[in-house]
């Protein structure tokens, strides 16, 4: 009974946060989010594979899921968020409400795009590093507040080795003073203290695109 209540809370909060549920809602142990209707910053929408991988790196494990109209199980247009396991760990509506807000904030911040694959466009996504770090810290705080993680617990298992608990990884580049940022949402940064790698060749653009994407 609590499993279904928690799933309904997830769905209600997702909708409050501007997300759409596949098939109109849930009456079971999971809820599906329709990624085709995620209000992203690029005009494109993220694929389930991209979303599940990004969230996995923050400490949230869920599944990509096909829905009606999808033509590929590799790159479906929905994610499935289940409630059974965490309900067994003692989570109730309050914890799932917080989890839904964390997931929704990250979903809406994914910069979805595509590149030309061998046969058709392939979806990818990038995430602002500050939002990425904030999401990881929010997940850790939720885990500690709910008693899953306790003071002194080592956080070293996958995927938590991607960050130092409670601390952002890396230092942001400072903005250049007195410079107006270029168009299209780009920013001018002072990288004078950082090394530069020059990449040349017929497929340099494709290499960079593959090497630095999320």
Residue 155: pLDDT band by 50, 70, 90 thresholds? low
Residue 152: pLDDT band by 50, 70, 90 thresholds? low
More confident: 154 or 17: 17
More confident: 186 or 109: 109
Under a CB-based contact definition with an 8 Å cutoff, are residues 77 and 65 in contact?
A: no
Under a CB-based contact definition with an 8 Å cutoff, are residues 55 and 106 in contact?
A: yes
Q: How many CB atoms lie within 10 A of CB 210?
A: 11
Among candidate residues 185, 196, 193, 187, the one with its CA nearest the CA of residue 113:
185
- DSSP code of residue 35: G
CATH (residue range 2-162): 3.90.1150.10
Is residue 164 predicted with pLDDT exceeding 50? no
Backbone angles phi, psi at 131, to 5 degrees: -65, -40
Among candidate residues 19, 8, 126, 123, the one with its CA nearest the CA of residue 71:
123
Give residues with Cβ within 8 angstroms of 73, minimum separation 6: 66
Residue 138: the pLDDT is 93
Interval 98-109: pLDDT, tens: 999 999 999 999
155 CB burial (10 A radius; 0-12, 13-18, 19+): middle
Mean pLDDT in residue range 41-55:
90
Mean pLDDT in residue range 120-131:
86
Mean pLDDT in residue range 147-163:
62
Helices (H), ranges, the chain:
2-16, 48-58, 84-88, 93-109, 129-145, 204-211
Residue 190: pLDDT band by 50, 70, 90 thresholds? low
Give residues with Cβ within 8 angstroms of 37, minimum separation 6: 19, 20, 45
């Amino acid at each position: 009974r609590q499993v279904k209540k928690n799933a309904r809370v997830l769905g209600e909060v997702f909708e409050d946060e501007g997300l759409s549920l596949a098939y109109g809602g849930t009456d079971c142990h999971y809820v599906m989010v329709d990624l085709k209707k995620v209000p992203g910053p690029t005009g494109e929408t993220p694929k389930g594979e991209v979303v599940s991988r990004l969230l996995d790196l923050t400490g949230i494990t869920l599944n990509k899921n096909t829905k009606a109209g999808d033509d590929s199980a590799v790159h479906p247009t929905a994610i499935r968020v289940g409630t059974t396991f965490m309900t067994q760990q003692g989570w109730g509506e309050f914890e799932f409400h917080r989890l839904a807000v964390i997931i929704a904030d990250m979903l809406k911040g994914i910069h979805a795009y595509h590149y030309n694959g061998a046969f058709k466009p392939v979806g990818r996504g990038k995430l602002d590093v500050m939002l990425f770090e904030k999401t990881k810290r929010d997940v850790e705080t939720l885990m500690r507040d709910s008693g899953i993680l306790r003071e002194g617990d080592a956080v070293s298992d996958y995927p938590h080795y991607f960050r130092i608990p409670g601390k952002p990884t890396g230092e942001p580049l400072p903005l250049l003073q007195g410079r107006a940022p270029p168009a299209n949402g780009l920013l001018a940064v002072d990288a004078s203290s950082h090394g530069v790698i020059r990449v040349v060749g017929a497929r340099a653009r494709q290499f960079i695109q593959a090497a630095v994407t999320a």
